[in-house]
Amino acid sequence: MMTPSITHPIGDFIRANVPIPELAYLINAIICIVAICTVAFGAAMVLVYMERKVCAHVQCRLGPMRLGPHGCIQTVADTIKLFFKEVYAPNGADKFLFYLAPMVLLTAPFMCLSMIPFDHNLQVADISVGIPLIIAVNGFGILGILLGGWASNNKYSLLGSLRSGAQMISYEISYAMILLFVVMMSGSCSLQEITLSQSGNLFDWWIFKAPGIGFLAFLMFLISSTAELNRAPFDIAEAEQELTGGYHTEYNGLAFAMFYLAEYINLVTTSAIATVCFLGGYLPLSFGYAPVDHVLAIVPGFIWFFGKVFAMIWVYMMLRWTFVRPRVDQLMGLEWKFLLPVNLLLLALGAVFISLGWIVP
């Protein structure tokens, strides 16, 4: 299956009216960068507020209530406060690497967002090797955390970063294998083609299209990606009760805000990847009943996409505030003794399903 050419009216207008091709390309590139930054920073601001409210309601309390209706601008106030706080490095820290670490950590989610198809014509880059590239750039996140912990000249930060490195490198294997399972099922590494391989009704989504193993792969992705995100219950890298603040103990002000921001942008990116790989991406819900399907098809694709992403983010937040944190050895044992064998079995079963004609990529 070939991916149709991705064009957008704004980009077409600029190319048609700017006489210099290089300048038109530069203007379009700037528009894409601004759009991705707007999605990332805007979503992070909303998600910090959402996280506080979800946590509060799970724990039978109200959460932030003072600034704005129901506390809706509390996150804005906290962000402004962080912008004006002094940023300094502790004595003995490697200042260059200390300040470089949060920037490196932010690189991966922005690169991944540039490959996400938000709609049939809302995608910065449709790369034929999109899934392998996403697997590769995830390593930037691990590098940023290791740099931050080592450069801080703090034993707690170093221990937190080493824990995080061991956790993320281990779970990266399962994370990559599940994405490769989706590649094998769909027959393509392009995120646009993976989305289009799920066209049809609700049961053409890969979570249902591959009977049994699709849903199991989704569960494995949920567990592996939670560990990749360093979110509770797999947040042993921070573990406030054991390591004070973890790898970012010595960070403050804007530098700390970048670490905090990276967590929520990563949450958006991972939810978007799950939406593309398992939930039909920007394709609308379809139940096989023409009158209903016609109404659902009227809704723009990007609204469907962000609705599915919001549902995935809510699931990740509920996982955070529902389950307790395991010990370090239990967390590592879960990957090497359970997830890895199950994912190897999933790949084998996927190959069997395709060879028997039960699944048509």
Lowest mean pLDDT among 206-210, 221-225, 251-255: 251-255
C-alpha distances (whole Å) from 344 to each of 176, 217, 282 are 11, 11, 29
Written as six digits, the tokens of 282 are 């920007």
Q: How many CB atoms lie within 10 A of CB 208?
A: 18
Do 189 and 313 have their domain in common?
Answer: yes
Return the closest-CA partner of residue 339 out of 235, 226, 229: 226
Q: What is the pLDDT of residues 224-246, one digit of tens each?
A: 999 888 887 887 766 555 555 67
Alpha helices in 187-252 (DSSP H): 191-196, 206-209, 213-228, 240-243
- The residue-averaged pLDDT of 108-123 equals 88
Q: Please report the sign of the dihedral spanned by the C-alpha atoms of residue 95, residue 164, residue 316, residue 181.
A: positive
How many structural domains comprise the chain?
2
Do 64 and 176 have their domain in common?
Answer: no
For residue 335, being part of any structural domain is answered with yes
Do 235 and 292 have their domain in common?
Answer: yes
Q: How far apart are CA 270 and CA 130, in angstroms?
A: 14
Question: Is residue 221 pLDDT above 70, yes or no?
Answer: yes
Q: How far apart are CA 245 and CA 36, in angstroms?
A: 30
Split at pLDDT 50, 70, 90, the class of 272 is very high
Split at pLDDT 50, 70, 90, the class of 305 is very high
Return the closest-CA partner of residue 76 out of 64, 63, 61: 64
Provide the CA 68 distance to its chain's centre, in angstroms.
Answer: 29
Contact (CB, 8 A) for 132 and 189: yes
Q: How many CB atoms lie within 10 A of CB 267?
A: 24
Diameter of the chain measured on Cα atoms: 68
Do 75 and 217 have their domain in common?
Answer: no
Q: How many CB atoms lie within 10 A of CB 86?
A: 7
Q: What is the pLDDT of residues 158-168, one digit of tens each?
A: 888 888 888 88
Question: Is residue 249 pLDDT above 60, yes or no?
Answer: yes
Do 21 and 117 have their domain in common?
Answer: no
Q: What is the pLDDT of residues 5-18, one digit of tens each?
A: 566 788 888 888 88
Domain boundary among 84, 116, 140: 84
What angle separates helix 74-84 from helix 21-58, to the nearest 10 degrees?
A: 120
For residue 179, being part of any structural domain is answered with yes
What pLDDT does 345 receive? 93
- Residue 12: partners with Cβ closer than 8 Å, 6 or more residues away: none
Do 219 and 75 have their domain in common?
Answer: no
Domain boundary among 24, 53, 84: 84
For residue 99, being part of any structural domain is answered with no
For residue 248, being part of any structural domain is answered with no
Q: How far apart are CA 142 and CA 162, in angstroms?
A: 10
What pLDDT does 336 receive? 92
For residue 268, being part of any structural domain is answered with yes
Burial grade of 296 (CB within 10 A; 0-12, 13-18, 19 or more): middle
Do 229 and 110 have their domain in common?
Answer: yes
Q: How many CB atoms lie within 10 A of CB 13?
A: 11
- The residue-averaged pLDDT of 198-221 equals 87
Do 205 and 123 have their domain in common?
Answer: yes
Q: What is the pLDDT of residues 54-101, one digit of tens each?
A: 888 888 888 888 888 888 888 888 888 888 888 888 888 888 888 888
Question: Is residue 3 pLDDT above 50, yes or no?
Answer: no
Do 80 and 116 have their domain in common?
Answer: no
Split at pLDDT 50, 70, 90, the class of 1 is very low
Return the closest-CA partner of residue 106 out of 135, 140, 79: 140
Contact (CB, 8 A) for 314 and 54: yes
Question: Is residue 2 pLDDT above 50, yes or no?
Answer: no
Do 120 and 189 have their domain in common?
Answer: yes
Do 346 and 288 have their domain in common?
Answer: yes
For residue 361, being part of any structural domain is answered with no
Domain boundary among 53, 84, 115: 84
Average pLDDT taken over every residue of the chain: 85
What pLDDT does 4 receive? 43
Note down the domain range covering 36. Answer: 8-84
Q: What is the pLDDT of residues 274-293, one digit of tens each?
A: 999 999 889 888 877 778 87
Written as six digits, the tokens of 146 are 């290791």
Do 237 and 334 have their domain in common?
Answer: yes
